[in-house]
Amino acid sequence: MAETDIAARAAFDQIRYAQVWEDADILVEALRPKVGDTVVSIASAGDNAIALLAEGCERVIAVDLNPTQLACVRMRVAMYRHLPHGDFLELMGSRPSGRRRLLLDAAAVHLTDQDQAFWANLKETVAEHGLGGAGKFERYFRIFREWMLPFIHNPQTIDELLRHREPDERRAFYDRYWNIWGWRMMLKVFFSRTVMGRLGRDPAFFDHVEGSPAGQVAGLTRKALVEQDPSANPYLHWILKGFHGSALPRALDEARFETIRERIDRLDVRLCTVETLAAEGVKADAFNLSDIFEYMSPPAHEAAYGTILAASNPGARIAYWNMMAPRRAPASLADRVKTNSLLEAKLKPLDKAFFYRDFVIEEVV
């Protein structure tokens, strides 16, 4: 089973992702959640499960194998319930703050004793970097931002990159000022499989990767800096600056904040795998599967996909990303789904989480 396939190889004793690094805007458009739907989402830090909740569905079941990721979700639930939007952004790290210790205490008091102890141990990290900076993946980007990037680009050049420009201006700036020799060499080193495995993702997550991560990141970075508008990309802004810019991830946007607060009790947080839900009799109308399939061997991928189909209502929408390992519906099950190629073609160029090379949208026949 996929559960033991990855659980036996990866460690789940720390926060890997303190924020979700997948674009909720294209996810919502792919899954099209509607009133009455049951949606299943990989939890990670909770942002995209919560973004889906804001769309009016009946409930969102957020699942994860890593208990520390679910601690992130439960903290967000407390923050939505008890903090105003401005305080929420300060504690998250989206905005500068000198009072995150107080804000953390104000939210944590509503958690269990176990969760309070968990966050007390991370209080200084949260105070310095925000809740969204407390994971291993965010620490990886922080090393890049503080110890590598300054040798290549000064703060003024970074600010210029993140300024709104027209496409032709972005291309000229990138070619003349940004994509210099030092930048290209740094990408090769810092985004190599070895460095990413040691500092960013768990090395087990690369077991089924094909090709060079650094080469892929280099190509997709140009997409984010030239083809898209960097000023509107909150993920890029955090990588380069350590906080979100004027644009926020969907779940953090003020326009949706009160809706999420009113609906947060519809979030069902579970320590399990997506595959477990079929055995429990769950039937869902939409699935956000993050990039779970690329961590699996082909037999585990096939087994996991079969259990997801068993938990699907007719017409259920399935969306997931591929970062470095190509995965789509297994051949043995391909006749049970159809690929929404037109929607994929529309959404993939818009994906602000630029390091993913594929976004897959399938529907249960």
DSSP tag of 176: I
| Topology (CATH) of 2-81+250-364 | Rossmann fold (3.40.50)
- What's the pLDDT score for residue 1? 41
pLDDT tens for 128-175 read: 999 999 999 999 999 999 999 999 999 999 999 999 999 999 999 999
- What's the pLDDT score for residue 5? 56
Give CB contacts under 8 A, 24+ apart, made by 176-180: 178/153, 178/225, 179/222, 180/152
- What's the pLDDT score for residue 324? 82
pLDDT tens for 57-94 read: 999 999 999 999 999 999 999 999 999 999 999 999 99
pLDDT tens for 189-245 read: 887 766 666 664 555 554 545 556 677 777 889 999 999 999 999 999 999 999 999
- In the chain, CATH 3.40.50.150 sits at 2-81+250-364
- What's the pLDDT score for residue 102? 98
pTM for the whole thing? 0.92
Report H helices in the chain: 2-7, 24-31, 47-53, 67-82, 85-92, 100-108, 113-120, 123-129, 136-143, 155-161, 167-173, 181-190, 193-195, 213-222, 234-241, 254-263, 274-279, 298-310, 341-347
Q: Check pLDDT > 90 for residue 38.
A: yes
Please state the rounded mean pLDDT for residues 257-272: 98
Q: Is 329 helix (H, G, I), strand (E, B) or coil?
A: coil
**Residue positions counted in the chain:** 365
Percent residues over pLDDT 90 in the chain: 82
* Confidence at 15, pLDDT banded by 50, 70, 90: very high
Instruction: Report yes or no: 222 and 179 within 8 Å, Cβ to Cβ.
Output: yes
* Confidence at 11, pLDDT banded by 50, 70, 90: low
pLDDT tens for 304-331 read: 999 999 999 999 999 999 988 899 999 9
Instruction: Report yes or no: 18 and 69 within 8 Å, Cβ to Cβ.
Output: no
Select from 109, 179, 136 the least CA-distant residue to 15. 136
- What's the pLDDT score for residue 202? 53
- Residue 68 has a CB neighbour count (10 Å cut-off) of 19
